[in-house]
């Protein structure tokens, strides 16, 4: 079953949002135009409590994008974003959600960040996405969304590790850091993850 996973196309990651991804809004029409090509469409949604450990505002004397250590792992401190129930956590108003069968929320535990749609950053807790997709008989997984070099990359990496044939849709994604994104694309290609454009589907 050919499946599309749309990751974090939310207001706070759009131009003008609290953690804006450059040109993040430009992927919305691309995603809308490809959804009909899939047997199954699911989405991931960043959904943080206000006291989330990854927010710089919850660490006295720290600034946005500082690096600290939490549970023995490096943690970037972000601006408050995608706080549960806020306008910033909502999906972009022009994003077509009618075909979506399920939404998997992540980053809900205040003690640990969760870039991947499959697991938190410590791989301590699953979102249940793997089991859901396997029960549906999914073999091919196409991934897109925001940001390409963070949540989309880590979701793609975990999907690959879980045994799915993975396809990263580049023009339906945008990176926060283009240079880092180029490095990560090389890693994906090395693993055998296919980097495609929406026209290739």
Task: Enumerate the active-site residues.
Answer: 8, 106, 151
CB 44 within 8 A of CB 106: yes
Residue 194: strand pairing partners: 167
Query: What sections of the chain are H helices per DSSP?
Result: 27-34, 129-135, 151-161, 178-191
C-beta of residue 74 within 8 angstroms of C-beta of residue 67: yes
Say how far apart CA 15 and CA 172 lie, in whole Å. Answer: 16
């Amino acid at each position: 079953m050919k499946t599309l996973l749309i990751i974090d196309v939310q207001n706070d990651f759009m131009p003008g949002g609290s953690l804006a991804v450059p040109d993040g809004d430009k992927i919305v029409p691309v995603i809308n135009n490809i959804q009909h090509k899939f047997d199954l469409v699911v989405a991931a949604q960043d959904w943080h409590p206000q006291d989330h450990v990854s927010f710089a505002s919850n660490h006295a004397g720290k600034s946005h994008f500082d690096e600290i250590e939490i549970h023995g792992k490096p943690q970037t401190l972000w601006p408050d974003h995608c706080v549960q129930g806020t306008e910033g956590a909502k999906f972009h108003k022009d994003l077509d959600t009618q075909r979506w069968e399920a939404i998997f929320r992540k980053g809900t535990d205040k003690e640990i960040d969760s870039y991947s749609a499959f697991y938190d950053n410590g791989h301590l807790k699953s979102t249940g996405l793997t089991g859901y997709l396997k029960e549906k008989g999914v073999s091919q997984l196409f991934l897109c969304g925001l940001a390409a070099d963070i949540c989309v990359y880590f979701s793609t990496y975990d999907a690959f590790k879980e045994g799915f044939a993975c396809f990263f849709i580049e023009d339906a994604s945008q990176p926060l850091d283009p240079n880092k994104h180029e490095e990560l694309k090389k890693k994906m290609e090395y693993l055998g993850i296919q980097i495609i454009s929406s026209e290739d589907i």
